[in-house]
Amino acid sequence: MRWFLTLSKLLAFFLLFVFALQNTQVVQLTFFSIWHWQAPLALVLFSFFVLGVALGILALLPRLWHWRRTSRKWQAQAEQPVPPSATEPALVPPAARTDIQEGNPHGV
């Protein structure tokens, strides 16, 4: 399995490297006729990919923080001992029970 992961990483690197070498044309990005940027096409695509990943992570952060707080709260509740409820009978050893008669071992 390890060789498969290594091979897939090398293949992905090779494909991205060939993509970058074949897309060296200079492109110009203009924003409201104020800002101009000239760079190779591969660099522009990679920059916008990284920007998209960063914005996606920023959009996900509040939800991750909420999940983390909820997990900590549940973990703290799980660590607290649960008091026996009033509806459950207390566990009493058979020797201390008075409702079992001498001749009837099953208490019936």
* Sequence-ordered list of residues with C-beta below 8 angstroms from that of 45, at least 6 positions apart, any chain: 23
Asked if residue 37 is part of any domain, the answer here is yes
Q: Report pTM.
A: 0.55
Asked if residue 86 is part of any domain, the answer here is no
Task: Give the pLDDT confidence of 17-76 residue by residue, as tens digits.
Answer: 888 888 888 998 888 888 888 998 888 888 999 999 999 999 999 999 999 999 888 888
Asked if residue 91 is part of any domain, the answer here is no
Confidence band, pLDDT 50/70/90 cuts, at residue 7: very high
pLDDT (0 to 100) of residue 94: 61
Give the domain extent around 19: 11-75
Angle of helix 2-22 relative to helix 41-79, nearest 10 degrees, comes to: 140
Asked if residue 28 is part of any domain, the answer here is yes
How many domains does the structure of the chain reveal? 1
pLDDT (0 to 100) of residue 106: 65
